[in-house]
């Protein structure tokens, strides 16, 4: 475990040394494409990971990097490891056997983070209750609530456990397409009060809930091209947004609202169904605003 110390948001990454694509558990995954050019894609994955880490450091983040585990390629997506708020972590339970092996290594890593004082407590969901971390349970600091996706991966019942553990409101949202198998693929609350989302990913009831709670003026609708580019799967710190290569249309929309877009080459990870948000887990999210927590400290990252 290595840490690049900064004063801003504390973000967890997992080194991509063990990353590959050799199975398919979502529609984006392409083992055939990976196997056809594995050496080049492995090199590009390393370069993309380094670019993501550098972008996060440049916008003021403190970055901690865990080692991956051989045979568990999707550990590179730690957003699914847990839901974290106020130093408390609720560990994920994965639906697919291919990812269930990650639960033990992530638990051990989080125990080390607890021993270091990064976290204050850990909890486990009941066996058989599937909930895939921040990928399906996203904190919205502006509204003081979690948005919780359910359907393809996480159970609707998991929202109740999240609400009781954190003592914060949880708003369940039904996901209706396997392309948006996690909420973070299609939904991103932003610091300015806006929400970037892809409406067709949601049930009619969920769409109504979002519009009523967020308001049309605060919604930024992504299109199918943005979804395929994993641009909704973005990391937002202050007015900065880090994502996979951004479509021109979406960049213009975000910049018009005062956000700064930093895009990085993440194509190899998109072959596994993940983008920038999937590759990160923010460890310092808090219900109490911290003075200066999102002040940007910029530096050149070699």
Catalytic residue list = 182, 278
State how far the alpha carbon of 34 is from the alpha carbons of 20, 47, 139, 182, in Å.
7, 16, 33, 22
Give the other-Cβ count within 10 Å of 116's Cβ. 11
CA-to-CA distance for 32 and 45, rounded, in angstroms?
16
DSSP category for residue 287: S
Question: Under a CB-based contact definition with an 8 Å cutoff, are residues 70 and 13 in contact?
Answer: no
Q: Backbone phi, then psi, for 158, in 5-degree steps?
A: -65, -30
Question: Under a CB-based contact definition with an 8 Å cutoff, are residues 46 and 225 in contact?
Answer: no
Handedness of CA 268, 271, 276, 278 (dihedral sign): negative
Contacts of 43 (CB under 8 A, 6+ apart): none
Contacts of 40 (CB under 8 A, 6+ apart): none
């Amino acid at each position: 475990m290595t840490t690049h110390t900064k004063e801003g948001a504390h973000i967890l990454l997992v080194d991509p040394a063990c990353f590959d694509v050799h199975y398919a558990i979502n529609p984006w995954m392409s083992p055939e494409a990976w196997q056809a050019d594995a050496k080049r894609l492995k090199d590009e994955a390393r370069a993309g990971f380094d670019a993501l880490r550098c972008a996060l450091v440049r916008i003021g983040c403190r970055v901690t990097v865990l080692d991956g585990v051989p045979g568990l390629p999707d550990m590179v997506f730690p957003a699914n490891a847990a839901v974290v708020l106020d130093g408390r972590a609720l560990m994920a339970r994965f639906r697919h056997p291919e990812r269930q092996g990650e639960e033990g290594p992530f638990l051990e890593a989080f125990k080390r983070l607890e021993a270091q004082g990064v976290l204050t407590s850990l909890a486990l969901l009941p066996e058989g209750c599937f909930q895939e971390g921040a990928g399906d349970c996203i904190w919205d600091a502006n509204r003081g609530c979690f948005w919780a996706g359910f359907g393809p991966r996480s159970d609707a019942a998991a929202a109740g456990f999240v609400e009781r553990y954190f003592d914060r409101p949880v708003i369940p949202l039904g996901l209706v397409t396997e392309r948006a198998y996690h909420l973070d693929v299609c939904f991103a609350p932003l610091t300015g009060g806006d929400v970037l989302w892809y409406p067709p990913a949601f049930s009619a009831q969920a769409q109504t809930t979002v519009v009523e709670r967020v308001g049309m003026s605060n919604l930024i609708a992504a299109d199918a091209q943005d979804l395929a580019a994993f641009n909704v799967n973005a990391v937002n710190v202050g007015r900065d947004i880090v994502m996979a290569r951004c479509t021109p249309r979406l960049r213009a929309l975000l910049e018009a609202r005062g956000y700064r877009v930093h895009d990085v080459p993440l194509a190899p990870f998109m072959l596994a169904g993940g983008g920038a948000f999937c590759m990160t887990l923010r460890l310092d999210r808090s219900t109490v605003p911290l003075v200066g927590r999102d002040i940007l400290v910029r530096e050149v990252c070699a």
